[in-house]
Amino acid sequence: MLRIRHEVNGGPEALLVEQVDIPEAGPGELVVRAEAIGVTLPTVRKVREGSGPVTLGGEVAGVVVSTGADVPGFAVGDRVTGLCFTHAYAEYAVLTAALATAVPDGATAVEAVALVRSGLVARGAYEAGRVRPGESVLVTAAASAVGTLAVQLAKAGGAGRVVAAVSSADKAGFVRGLGADEVVLYQDADWGAPYDVVLDGVGGDLLTPAVNALALGGRLVAFGSGGGTVDAYELLLRGASVIGFQIRTVAMGRPDLYARWERELWEQRAAGSLRTAVHEEIPLAEAARAHAVIEQRRNLGKVVLVPR
């Protein structure tokens, strides 16, 4: 089978195409013939910033071809989506059964990788922010896969003002089309502050303006992989708080909540109140191009690799 491997040879990273054997399913695992593979910002960052080879994990959707022991509820031929922690950029991938779920009839594999993981992160970040009806919400990285869904969830949840923060003005029309009431650019002076809640998927240097944009008693939910430092004095001035969110914590610690959120995402999609945005479907062998799209902040929604 075809697989993409990351290799570092004392210079820029390389995503190389190789031929390897189809993997076998271990206990609690599924082997899936991939139909769509979601490219995530954390993986792109690891490739760019890491000092050694990176395992290319990510979201995969496809058809189960074999199962290991202790995987009740799944069978060969089932259409599923889930996380691959080993080699996701491949024609066949191993999924942890506990984090895999069925793809409903009528949904494509591309829709599944655009909706499920990104939607769960967006839903979890929104819930962590404890947004009350009528409150104002700012979403950073609003044109990203998670951001597009966070904007829609905030609007559907009753937020009084939903503002999308993006890197360039050419994304404004796109995020307004998702329901954003206003759009601000990262280089703007005050981001249209203050906000009751900031959902931040960027981190790094943007953490400071994100904190500064909080209203009195505001909450910032940091759910991205960008790191960064928060000025505690700015929090004191505002009586504000910063909340960290990671979806894996919910998946492993609250599988019932994880399953309910996922079920509700599919229901919202079916009802037309939540839609996925896919920037481009890129052949698996061109994974390096997919990473470049995200690194250059050109994507409007999810970037998906498709084996051909």
What is the model's pLDDT at position 130? 97
Q: Is pLDDT at 81 greater than 90 in this prediction?
A: yes
Domain assignment of residue 271, yes or no: no
Question: Are 124 and 237 contained in the same domain?
Answer: yes
One-character DSSP codes across 220-288: EEE-SS------HHHHHHHT-EEEE--HHHHHHH-HHHHHHHHHHHHHHHHHTS----EEEEEEGGGHH
Buried b (16+ CB within 10 A) or exposed e, 112-125: bbbbbbbbbbbbbb
Instruction: Say whether both 141 and 236 belong to one domain.
Output: yes
185 found inside a domain: yes
d(CA 51, CA 99): 29
Residue 197 domain-assigned (yes or no): yes
Same domain, 130 and 52: no
- Is residue 76 domain-resident? yes
The number of distinct structural domains making up the chain is 2
Which of these, 167, 207, 209, 134, lies nearest to 298 by C-alpha position? Answer: 167
pLDDT score of 83? 87
The band of 9, judged by pLDDT with boundaries at 50, 70 and 90, is low
Residues 123 and 231 in one domain: yes
- Judgement on whether residues 130 and 236 belong to the same structural domain of the protein: yes
Same domain as 139, residue 216: yes
Which tokens go with 181?
A: 């009431």
* Cα 141 to Cα 151: distance, rounded to the nearest angstrom: 10
In a domain, 109, yes or no: no
Among residues 199, 231, 247, which one ends one of the domains?
247
Residue 258 forms part of a structural domain: no
Q: Are residues 144 and 235 in the same domain?
A: yes
* 270 inside domain: no
The predicted model gives 156-173 an average pLDDT of: 96
Q: What is the pLDDT of residue 13?
A: 60
Instruction: Identify the pLDDT of residue 7.
Output: 86
pLDDT in tens, 208-255: 999 999 999 999 999 987 888 999 999 999 999 999 999 989 988 898
Per-residue pLDDT at 308 exceeds 80: no
Q: Is residue 195 part of a domain?
A: yes
pTM summary value: 0.92
Q: Which domain holds residue 295?
A: 2-103+277-306
CATH code of 207's domain: 3.40.50.720
CATH number of the domain enclosing 20: 3.90.180.10
Considering the domain architecture, whether residues 206 and 130 belong to the same structural domain is answered as yes
The residues, ordered by sequence, that sit 6+ positions from 49 with a Cβ below 8 Å of its Cβ are: none
User: Are residue 35 and residue 99 in the same domain, yes or no?
Assistant: yes
SS3 200: strand
Residue 10: its pLDDT value, please? 41
Same domain membership, residue 28 and residue 133: no
Exposure of 149 by Cβ count < 10 A (0-12 exposed, 13-18 middle, 19+ buried)? buried
11 confidence band (pLDDT: 50, 70, 90):
very low
